[in-house]
Amino acid sequence: LELAASARKLGATVTVLEAQPRILMRGVPAEIAEIIHKAHQAEGVKVLTGQGITAIADDGTQVRITLADRQDIVADLAVIGIGAVPVTALAAEAGLAIDNGIAVDENLCTADPDVFAAGDCCSFPLAVYGGRRVRLEAWRNAQEQGALAAKNMLGANEAHAAVPWFWSDQYGLTLQIAGLSDEGRSTVRRDLYDGAFILFHLAEDGRLVAASGIGPGNAVARDIRLAEMLIAKRATPAPEALGSQSVKLKSLLAA
């Protein structure tokens, strides 16, 4: 989608094909995904969801994509996003545990005490989610884990405690998400300004487990950062406080 937005800004005619029923299903709430979908449509991007592909033919001058409904899409260029697969062959040959990547503990240590792994290639337990094992593909995670692995190689013995976070900029809109939204069982909305808003995701016990925000520029950045800190503290703020513009998130953090 970021590539589609950039291509459209450069004047290209763009069609996005998505096999899932909607865009951004893996980690973005439907309410926010719909805003991004409409932003692409408003910019002239054709977004086709729920589309299976039966054939792709490239004759050197154009690409012809045949959809499951027999519709043909013809383009000068096709960019295919199929996800990422962690490279674990060397780790497996060395006898290390593999679990959706190279399995490490909270200190980023593998099954071998002399071997550490960090970044996109490793899966690790998140204490804030009860030890749920995840593998993250985001630059900040790789940066933080690289530094922590180096410290632990030197004997620091520090646990990885960062809250997952990512962002995306498209057409002047910024999407930011802290935490894992699929851990939530209820949602509270806080409206900000210029159409910006944040969805706070709460677990069954009332604990804040994620926050998803969208708005122009940096409209949601400060509140998402505060939400990230609340998630790390395993805070259980009152839903009415989260949804009220008159209650500052910083005051909830202090409480």
Q: Do 187 and 135 belong together in one domain? A: no
With a cut of 50, which residues of the chain have pLDDT below it? none
Residues 141 and 174 in one domain: no
Q: Give me the pLDDT at residue 255, please.
A: 81
What was the pLDDT predicted at 204?
Answer: 96
Which amino acid would we find at residue 160? H
Residue 235 resides in a domain: yes
pLDDT of residue 27: 86
Domain CATH code at residue 8: 3.50.50.60
Considering the domain boundaries, does residue 158 fall inside one? no
Cβ atoms of 213 and 166 within 8 Å: the answer is: no
**Can you give the pLDDT at residue 83?**
84
Q: Domain limits at 220?
A: 165-254
**Alpha-carbon torsion angle 217, 219, 224, 227, nearest 10:** 180
Q: What's the number of domains the chain is made of?
A: 3
Residue 122, Cα to own-chain centre: how many angstroms?
16
Which string of DSSP letters, residue by residue, matches 67-119?
ETTS-EEEES------------HHHHHTT--BSSSEE--TTSB-SSTT-B--G
Dihedral angle sign, alpha carbons of residues 79, 82, 83, 89: negative
pLDDT tens sequence across 20-58: 999 999 889 999 999 999 999 999 999 999 999 999 999
What is the model's pLDDT at position 56?
96
Let me know: does 148 contact 251? Beta carbons within 8 Å: no
Whether 44 is covered by a domain: the verdict is yes
Residue 1 CA to its chain's centroid (Å): 13
Q: In the prediction, which pLDDT does 238 show?
A: 96
pLDDT at 84: 86
